[in-house]
C-alpha cells in the first residue's frame, strides 16, 4: 500500500500499517531521489503553478534506513532474507574497484618475495637465538602473504590473463607447499557454497550425526587449541570427516575429469618444491633448513587456519548456517565476517576485508577496502563492523578460544541452523 497520499500541499504520510517484517519489495530497498517542492502552498492561494508534478507519486520523500527501523524496537535477525539484492550491492561499488592491474599485482609479488629472501638472508647471517623468534613470526607472516597473492590468482583477481594467473599462482603456492590447482578448485567450491552446512568446503559445521560418529580423540583434537590451527596440511591430504578426496589426486571427488590435467600439473609443482627442500637440507643441513623454512611454514599454517576460521566463526552473536531452500549465495555470503589485523592488514593484503571478497571475489585485494566502504550503505546491519585492533591482532585469540569452546555441531534437520555446544568437551555432562 502506498505510504503517502497527494494533497494540494504535497505529500502527506499515512499511518504505518505494514507488518513488522518488511519484504524485499519494501520501499526501503529502493534508492529514490525526489526533490522537495519549491515553496509551501497556502490554503488560500490554491495549487502553485510552478510545482514539480513529478512529485505526485506514491513514494516517501526520504527512505527509512534499515538501522532506523531496527532502532524502533525491532530486534535484528541476521537469518532474515535481506531487503536488497546482490545487484544492489554491486551497483554501489565504484566501477574502478573492479579493474585489475597486472603490473600492480606483480609489484606486490616482487615486494613480498624480496622481503622473504631478505629476512632469510639476515637471519642466516646473524644466526642468533635473539633473532630467530622474531624471524619466525615475520617470515611466517610473509609466507601467509604469499598465499594471499596466490589466492588472488586462483580467483582471477590478479589479472585478466588466465595464463599469467596460473604461472604466478603455481610459483607462489608451490613455494609454500600448497597445490595450486587443487586448492583453487576446492576454494571455488567454498565460495560457491559459502554458508551451506553440507556443501561448503572450508570450516563448515558438522551435522550432529557426523559429530556423534567421531571418536573422543578426534573431537578433542578438532576443538582443543592449538591443534585445529595446524589442520591445513591434513585437510589438503584427506579433507574433513564426512567428505572424501585429496587435493593432490586427479581422481578425487573434489574434481571433474576435465580438471585432471590441472591437478597433475599442480601436484608435480608441489613435488618439485618438496624435492628442492630435500636437496637444500643436504646443502645447509636439516637443522638450518628447519629454522629458515620449517618453522615459518608451520607459522604460515597457523596464520591460514586462524584467519580462514575467523572469517566464518567467532562473532559475539550467533550467525546462521543454511540448507535447502533457505540457502542462497547472497545469504550465505552475508554470514562471513570482516576482521581487523592492525599492522598486519597491509602485509597480508587486506584479506581480513572479507565480506565483499566473498560476494565478489573478482575484486582485486587492493580495492577491497574502498569497495566495502561503498557497500556499507546497502548492507546495513547485515555488515558487522570488525573490532578495531591494536598493532597486533591479539584480541582475535579470545574470539578464537570462545568459538572453539561452544561452536561444535549443528542440528541434522532444519534449513536455518546455529551452532550447538557439546558440554562433554568442556568437562560437563550432556543434558
* Cα Dmax for the chain: 100
More confident residue, 13 or 254: 254
Average pLDDT, the chain: 86
Spacing of C-alpha 51 from chain mean position = 49
pLDDT for 296 beyond 60: yes
42 falls in which pLDDT band (50, 70, 90)?
very low
Residues 171-190, mean pLDDT to the nearest whole number? 97
Helix (H, G, I), strand (E, B) or coil at 331: helix
Residues 195-211, mean pLDDT to the nearest whole number? 94
Lowest mean pLDDT among 16-25, 228-237, 366-375: 16-25
Instruction: Show me where the domains of the chain are located.
Output: 1-64, 95-426
Phi-psi map region of 207: left, alpha, beta (phi>0 left; psi -120 to 50 alpha): beta
Residues 400-404, mean pLDDT to the nearest whole number? 96
Angle separating helix axes 162-174 and 102-126, nearest 10 degrees:
10
Residues 254-274, mean pLDDT to the nearest whole number? 96
CA distance 386 to 379: 14
Q: Which three cell numbers stand for residue 32?
A: 529514490
Would you state the pLDDT for residue 241? 83
Give me the percent of the chain exceeding a pLDDT of 90.
78
What CA dihedral angle connects 68, 71, 77 and 83, to 10 degrees?
A: -10
Residues 229-235, mean pLDDT to the nearest whole number? 96
Question: Dihedrals φ, ψ of 118, to 5°?
Answer: -65, -45
pLDDT for 219 beyond 80: yes
Would you state the pLDDT for residue 11? 43
Q: Which residue has the cell 552473536?
A: 317
* Cis bond upstream, residue 197 (ω within 30): no
35 falls in which pLDDT band (50, 70, 90)?
very low
Cβ atoms of 42 and 9 closer than 8 Å: no
CA nearest neighbour of 225 among 393, 409, 346, 399: 399
Q: Which three cell numbers stand for residue 4?
A: 503517502
Q: Which three cell numbers stand for residue 238?
A: 584427506
Amino acid at each position: 500500500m502506498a505510504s503517502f497520499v497527494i494533497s494540494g500541499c504535497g505529500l502527506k504520510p499515512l499511518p504505518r500499517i505494514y507488518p513488522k517484517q518488511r519484504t524485499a519489495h519494501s520501499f526501503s530497498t529502493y534508492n529514490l531521489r525526489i526533490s522537495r517542492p519549491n515553496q509551501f502552498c497556502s490554503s488560500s492561494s490554491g495549487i502553485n503553478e510552478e510545482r514539480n508534478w513529478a512529485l505526485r507519486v506514491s513514494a516517501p520523500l526520504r527512505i527509512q534506513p534499515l538501522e532506523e527501523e531496527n532502532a524502533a524496537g525491532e530486534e535484528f535477525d541476521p537469518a532474515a532474507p535481506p531487503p536488497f539484492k546482490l545487484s544492489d550491492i554491486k551497483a554501489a561499488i565504484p566501477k574502478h574497484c573492479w579493474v585489475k592491474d597486472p603490473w600492480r599485482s606483480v609489484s606486490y609479488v616482487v615486494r613480498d618475495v624480496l622481503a622473504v629472501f631478505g629476512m632469510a638472508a639476515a637471519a642466516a647471517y646473524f644466526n642468533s637465538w635473539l633473532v630467530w623468534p622474531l624471524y619466525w613470526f615475520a617470515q611466517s607472516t610473509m609466507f601467509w602473504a604469499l598465499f594471499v597473492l596466490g589466492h588472488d590468482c586462483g580467483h582471477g583477481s590478479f589479472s585478466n590473463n588466465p595464463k599469467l594467473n596460473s604461472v604466478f599462482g603455481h610459483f607462489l603456492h608451490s613455494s609454500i607447499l600448497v597445490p595450486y590447482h587443487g586448492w583453487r578448485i576446492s576454494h571455488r567450491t567454498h565460495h560457491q557454497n559459502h554458508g551451506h552446512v553440507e556443501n561448503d568446503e572450508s570450516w563448515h559445521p558438522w551435522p550432529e550425526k557426523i559429530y556423534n560418529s567421531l571418536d573422543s580423540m578426534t573431537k578433542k583434537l578438532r576443538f582443543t587449541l592449538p591443534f585445529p590451527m595446524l589442520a591445513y596440511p591434513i585437510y589438503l591430504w584427506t579433507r574433513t570427516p564426512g567428505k572424501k578426496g585429496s587435493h593432490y589426486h586427479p581422481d578425487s571427488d573434489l574434481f571433474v575429469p576435465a580438471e585432471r590435467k590441472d591437478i597433475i600439473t599442480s601436484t608435480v609443482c608441489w613435488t618439485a618444491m618438496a624435492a628442492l627442500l630435500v636437496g637444500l637440507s643436504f646443502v645447509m643441513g636439516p637443522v638450518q633448513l628447519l629454522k629458515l623454512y620449517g618453522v615459518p611454514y608451520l607459522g604460515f599454517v597457523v596464520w591460514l587456519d586462524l584467519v580462514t576460521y575467523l572469517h566464518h566463526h567467532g562473532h559475539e552473536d550467533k550467525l546462521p548456517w543454511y540448507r535447502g531452500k533457505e540457502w542462497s549465495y547472497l545469504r550465505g555470503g552475508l554470514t562471513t565476517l570482516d576482521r581487523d589485523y592492525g599492522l598486519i592488514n597491509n602485509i597480508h593484503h587486506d584479506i581480513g576485508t572479507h565480506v565483499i571478497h566473498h560476494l565478489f571475489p573478482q575484486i582485486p585485494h587492493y580495492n577491497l577496502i574502498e569497495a566495502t566502504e561503498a557497500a556499507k550503505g546497502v548492507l546495513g546491519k547485515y555488515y558487522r563492523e570488525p573490532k578495531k585492533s591494536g598493532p597486533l591482532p591479539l584480541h582475535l585469540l579470545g574470539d578464537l578460544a570462545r568459538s572453539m569452546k561452544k561452536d561444535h555441531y549443528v542440528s541434522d534437520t532444519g534449513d536455518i541452523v546455529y551452532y550447538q555446544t557439546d558440554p562433554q568437551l568442556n568437562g560437563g555432562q550432556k543434558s
